Copies of this chain bind each other. A is one copy, B any other.
Amino acid sequence: MKLNRKDILSIEDLTKEEIELVLKTAESFKEVSERDIKKVPTLRGKTIINLFYEPSTRTRTSFEIAAKRMSADAINISASSSSVVKGETLKDTAKNLEAMNPDCIVLRHSFSGAPHILAGLVKCSVINAGDGCHEHPSQALLDMLTVKEKLGRIEGLKIAIIGDILHSRVARSNIYGFTKLGAEVRAAGLPTMMPCRIEQMGCRVFYNMEDAIKDSDVIMMLRIQLERQNAALFPTVREYSKLFGLDSKKLEMAKKDVIILHPGPINRGVEISSDVADGRSSLILDQVTNGVAVRMALFYLLLGREL
């Protein structure tokens, strides 16, 4: 079975069935990364371009490893070494890359909507690897895979997402995804961190962390982007941490078997304490492992031939 679409731009676009297909396919690819010989010939002769306009270790590496384990050729382009310094527009970069006949372009860009523009310009597949404050669909898919794997289902669960929802593409993708699969999503953070009309995305809003996590099955902590902290969303890091950081004391208010997610990189002692991040409830590293499997699945579903 194949996804009947060219691109993966957002979770908002995907149907419940499509999300489930990706998760099921990813599950079957997990085993490849556990083999002695971590490679399948499925995408031999395919060209995948990682076009990253923002720095990234884990996401770029995850996509690159996924491509190589599928035997595709992976080409990395980062903004600093590219024609971007010569002022080329995204459109021209896109058309030029397309002219080299890639099969897929994986795009990370600081502007929301950039992957949609790209997808409209090129015949090859486009995967959104994070665009501004909009979406990060492969992250949400790996989060859903991690929850499903651990708890056996997603429907009926309560998922608390804590932090700067407004600026988080991870939060946005996850709100769409978990809601579509029948979970209740709870968004918690300071009022300055909450998108207006967030209730229309289908989630409940909390301005108090305790209420949000009390009977939740999953707590997803968002990264506070200290390096971009010029928006003055909160008075001090210490104060934020006290209100919305997750430490063992706050964790006591949650269910015993709650699971904890974080998209990384984590700020230890800011949005999550070290004991919680490294504790038995944390699935942070499972998320990373599942990231490779999800990306292999996306490449397969977009580019793969029928078996």
Q: Which residues of A contact B (CB under 8 A)?
A: 33-39, 44-47, 49, 52, 55-58, 60-62, 64-65, 68-69, 73, 75, 77-78, 80-89, 92-93, 95-103, 226-227, 264-268, 285-289, 291-292, 305
Listed by A's residue number, 24 A-B pairs whose Cβ atoms lie within 8 Å are A33-B101, A35-B45, A45-B69, A55-B80, A55-B81, A55-B82, A55-B83, A55-B86, A56-B83, A57-B81, A57-B96, A61-B77, A61-B100, A65-B75, A65-B102, A68-B75, A83-B265, A86-B227, A88-B265, A95-B285, A98-B285, A99-B288, A100-B292, A101-B289
Residue from the set A58, A87, A288 with the largest chain B CB neighbour count within 10 Å:
A58
CB-CB under 8 A for A38 and B47, given A82-B55, A100-B61: yes
Residue in B37, B73, B85 whose CB lies within 8 Å of A45: B37
Residue in B38, B64, B100, B267 whose CB lies within 8 Å of A46: B38
The distance in angstroms between the C-alpha atoms of A103 and B35, with both chains bound, is 11
Within the complex, what minimum Cβ distance (angstroms) separates A72 from chain B? 10
List chain B residues, Cβ under 8 A from A292.
100-101
CB-CB under 8 A for A78 and B77, given A39-B44, A96-B288, A99-B286: no
The distance in angstroms between the C-alpha atoms of A227 and B83, with both chains bound, is 11
Within the complex, what minimum Cβ distance (angstroms) separates A195 from chain B? 23
CB-CB under 8 A for A61 and B88, given A45-B36, A80-B81, A99-B285: no
Further 10 A-B residue pairs, CB within 8 A, beyond A39-B45, A47-B69, A49-B61: A33-B100, A36-B45, A55-B85, A65-B100, A69-B73, A85-B227, A87-B227, A96-B265, A96-B285, A99-B285
